[in-house]
Structure 1
Amino acid sequence: MIRPATPADIPVIHAMIRELAEYEKASHEARATRGRLHEALFGAHPAAYAHIAQDDATGEPVGFALWFLNFSTWRGVHGIYLEDLYVRPEARGAGHGKALLTSLARICVERGYERLEWSVLNWNQPSIDFYRSLGARPQDEWSVYRLTDGALSALGSA
């Protein structure tokens, strides 16, 4: 079962973000707090949205998708950028990841959004294979660039 997240889900979303960071070998980069997540998802001006995958038998949260709207100047419409998709290891293979992506694709179709995009680490072959099985294709001609920490501060202070 997939459902929109509620404020009561903040602790489990936060925990799964930490689990995802460990899986991606980047625990030191995961600095989100429960407070920041609550503000981003449920504050006065939400910047992001989340959906929860629940185990059909127990109702326990086993995964989440955290996403926000982007915009294509070429297409002239919004799309969804999937920031994180995570399913706990013990629940993988049961269809939760596909159900989460299906729910986001449904939102795109219903709202007239023309893109559902995300990034995946080059070494994460199981995820790459899964995404390809759904018809997703890499955008090999593009490279992702990022400014953070000192470089961001330096440029922003120039």
Structure 2
Amino acid sequence: MITIRAAGPEDFDLIASFIRKLADYEKLLHEVVFDDETLRRHLFGDRPAAEVIIGEVDGAPKGFSLFFQTFSTFEGKPGIWLEDLFVEPDARGSGLGRALLSKLASLVVERGGARLEWAVLDWNELGKGFYRTIGAAPVEGWERWRMEGDSLRSLAG
């Protein structure tokens, strides 16, 4: 049986473990540099920057989604950005990934939102194939851009 629940502070170690497993799958484990207390504060402090849901199969945690609110000025409505989605290898194909995304879609609808969005690594054909089966599609004409590190600090003054 699959269940989806909101994460709480007591799930922090589980969330940190899922983040590291996702980064390892994405061949980006070397980029995981978060400080536990900082991440904990941003997830469960006075002003959370993101939310997490945990997916369980037969009562055992097997996956998670970390997400945060976005806003579309064109639609005049909020949305959700899915930052991380991870399902343990032994639970893939169980329907857990779909259940996690279904919960996020229902949150968008419940919150009066316009869209659910995320990025996919260009080499992740398995992920892209799965996303297509649930009706998702790449956004034509857009590139993802980023500013960080020295250039971010330089622009900030």
- Structure 2 partner of 1:107: 107
Deviations 1:27-62 (A, max 9, x none): 121112322221111101111000000122xx2211
Tell me the distance in 1 between the aligned counterparts of 2:17 and 2:38: 14
Matched, 1:139 2:139: yes
Equivalent position amino acid for 1:124 in 2: N
| Structure with larger RCO (C-alpha < 8 A, sep 6+) | 2
Please show how residues 38-49 of structure 1 align to structure 2 within 5 Å.
38-49=40-51
Tell me the distance in 1 between the aligned counterparts of 2:33 and 2:56: 25
TM-score of the two chains, using structure 1 as the length reference: 0.94
SS at 2:39 equivalent: helix
Equivalent position amino acid for 2:17 in 1: A
Q: CA contact under 8 A between 1:14 and 1:33: conserved in structure 2?
A: no
CA shift, 1:25, in A, is 1.0
- Structure 2 partner of 1:63: 63
Tell me the distance in 2 between the aligned counterparts of 1:55 and 1:150: 43
Deviations 1:2-41 (A, max 9, x none): 0000111110110110111111111121112322221111
Please show how residues 80-99 of structure 1 align to structure 2 within 5 Å.
80-99=80-99
Higher mean displacement: 64-73 or 32-41: 32-41
CA shift, 1:140, in A, is 2.7
Structure 1 ranges of 4+ moved more than 3 A: none
- Structure 1 partner of 2:17: 15
Question: Over the residues paired in the alignment, what is the CA RMSD in angstroms?
Answer: 1.0
SS at 2:123 equivalent: coil
Structure 1 portions without partners, runs of 5+: none
